């Protein structure tokens, strides 16, 4: 019998990694007869299955005020503690209503027990889970110890309690082996590794009209060759290496397109990138409209001027992914899924968890060598070599990063909680 599954996070909207991965889990769960519901401070999911609480968002003014008083500080005032407690109790009340209203059997908490972007939400979840004994999967994408901004804090007591909490009715899931080791070392908590996945059993469904509309919207001509950087514009994505690659290819047909807007971490890096591209004579196209989630359950509600990544990838000739750090790397899997060749920087998780799978890729090691540029040019100019490469990569990904892999893990967790169904 299918379960009612409640996803909880600060937001389920757009194409950040947490929202995208939650959509994939939802897809696998509904294929297995379960029903999914959503609790967050920002939602673009089906309204009839959504429970919106503005204070759950990390950008809510009260949460931003708390964050300004506890991070980068050694001491917090009684006033701040009181506000944290008030919001925690407010969110607890709504969490209980959410569980009751939708008859939730199990919670899946996406990153809200991993990183204290919304401290009261993490506390509210911890207490609710402890008090109700509701089975819970805590899906951790990244932890507070991986972020410099959380190094100095006046809320260490709260963080030790809830990020993450060590409760026997929580199954902890991480996305890479380094996170698994660090979690055990720092907290004594054991966890499962479930990597990010895509539906490799079913190739992507491409809507030709939408993809052509996207190409027109960024002003590309038929003879242009599109180098796609399919990420947000944040410094750790290393987009300056993509600019350098296009410069070194020395061909005016090559256009560098960045698919996501800036904003989550400010606009200074985006402005610097524009100047860098201009100075090197690189045609850089920043796509400023908000990207929609191609796997969300409210796609009928996507506005006509909003595109999804599934409208962008088909027109890409080559993918750049020179990130300095990634928890896993959604864009890497997406490039393989759409059978596109890719340049990747050997970030630590890639080296440890992905590279040993044996993918055929163009790699760089922190800098762009002449040899790497030559290899990119050779692939772009040799369709036969490119096809062999992308087909080979797709098959490896199908074996290791498919929905079937995720389905097996989720079934195991549900059996651990509820036993075998008849």
The tokens for 261 are: 């807007």
Residue spans per domain, the chain: 4-197+403-418, 208-400
Query: pLDDT of 228-283, one tens digit each?
Result: 999 888 888 999 999 999 999 999 999 999 987 665 556 888 899 999 999 999 99
Asked if 153 and 71 touch (Cβ cutoff 8 Å), the reply is yes
Q: Choose among 109, 59, 57: nearest CA to 265.
A: 59
pLDDT exceeds cutoff 50 at 350: yes
Cα 269 to Cα 206, 235, 239, 281: the distances in Å are 32, 6, 10, 18
pTM for this structure? 0.89
Asked if 257 and 285 touch (Cβ cutoff 8 Å), the reply is yes
Cα 357 to Cα 70, 81, 151, 360: the distances in Å are 42, 48, 34, 10
The rounded distance, in Å, linking the Cα atoms of 193 and 176 is: 6
User: Mean of the pLDDT values across residues 298-302?
Assistant: 51
Query: pLDDT of 170-216, one tens digit each?
Result: 999 999 999 999 999 999 999 999 999 999 999 988 777 777 777 77
pLDDT for position 302: 47
> Which CATH number does the domain 4-197+403-418 belong to among 3.40.190.10, 3.40.50.300, 3.40.50.2000, 3.40.50.10860?
3.40.50.2000
Q: What is the rounded average pLDDT for all residues in the chain? A: 92
> Which CATH number does the domain 208-400 belong to among 3.30.565.10, 3.40.640.10, 3.40.50.2000, 3.90.1150.10?
3.40.50.2000
pLDDT for position 1: 81
* Peptide bond connecting 321 to the previous residue in cis, omega within 30 degrees of 0: no
pLDDT exceeds cutoff 50 at 314: yes
pLDDT for position 33: 95
In this chain, the answer to whether the domains covering 4-197+403-418 and 208-400 adopt an identical fold is yes
Query: pLDDT of 392-404, one tens digit each?
Result: 999 999 999 999 9
pLDDT exceeds cutoff 70 at 65: yes
**% of the chain surpassing 90 pLDDT:** 78
User: Mean of the pLDDT values across residues 63-70?
Assistant: 97
* DSSP-derived secondary structure letter, 267: S
């Amino acid at each position: 019998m299918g379960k009612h599954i409640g996803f909880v996070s600060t937001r389920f909207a757009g194409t950040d990694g947490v929202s995208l991965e939650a959509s994939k889990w939802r897809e696998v769960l509904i294929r297995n007869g379960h029903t999914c519901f959503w609790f967050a401070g920002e939602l673009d999911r089906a309204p009839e299955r959504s429970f919106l609480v503005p204070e759950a968002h990390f950008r809510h003014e009260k949460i931003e005020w708390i964050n300004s008083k506890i991070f980068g500080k050694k001491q917090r005032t009684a006033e701040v503690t009181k506000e944290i407690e008030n919001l925690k109790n407010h969110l607890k009340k709504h969490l209980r209503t959410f569980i009751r209203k939708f008859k939730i059997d199990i919670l899946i908490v996406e990153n809200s027990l991993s990183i204290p972007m919304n401290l009261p939400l993490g506390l509210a979840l911890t207490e609710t889970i402890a008090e109700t004994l509701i089975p819970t999967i805590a899906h951790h994408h990244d932890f507070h110890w991986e972020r410099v901004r959380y190094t100095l804090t006046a809320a260490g007591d709260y963080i030790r309690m809830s990020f993450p909490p060590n409760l026997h009715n929580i199954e902890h899931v991480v996305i890479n082996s380094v996170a698994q080791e660090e979690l055990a070392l720092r907290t004594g908590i054991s966890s499962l590794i479930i990597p990010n996945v895509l539906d490799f059993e079913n190739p992507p469904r491409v809507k030709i009209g939408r993809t052509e509309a996207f190409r027109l919207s960024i002003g590309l001509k038929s003879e242009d060759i599109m180098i796609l950087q399919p990420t947000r514009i944040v410094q750790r994505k290393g987009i300056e290496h993509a600019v350098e690659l296009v410069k070194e290819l020395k061909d005016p047909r090559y256009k560098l397109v960045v698919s996501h807007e800036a904003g989550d971490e400010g606009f200074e890096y985006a402005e610097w990138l524009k100047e860098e591209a201009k100075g090197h004579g690189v045609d850089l196209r920043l796509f400023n409209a908000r990207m929609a989630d191609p796997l969300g359950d409210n796609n009928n509600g996507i506005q006509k001027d909003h595109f999804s990544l599934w409208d962008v990838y088909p027109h890409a000739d080559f993918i750049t992914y020179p990130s300095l750090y990634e928890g896993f790397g959604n864009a890497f899997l997406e490039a393989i899924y759409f059978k596109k060749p890719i340049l990747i920087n050997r970030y630590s998780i890639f080296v440890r968890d992905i590279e040993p799978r044996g993918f055929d890729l163009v790699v760089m090691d922190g800098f762009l060598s002449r040899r790497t540029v030559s290899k990119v040019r050779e692939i772009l100019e040799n369709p036969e070599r490119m096809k062999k490469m992308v087909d080979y990569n797709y098959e490896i990904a199908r074996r290791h990063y498919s929905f079937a892999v995720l389905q097996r893990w989720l079934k195991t967790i549900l059996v651990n909680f509820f036993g075998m169904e008849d």
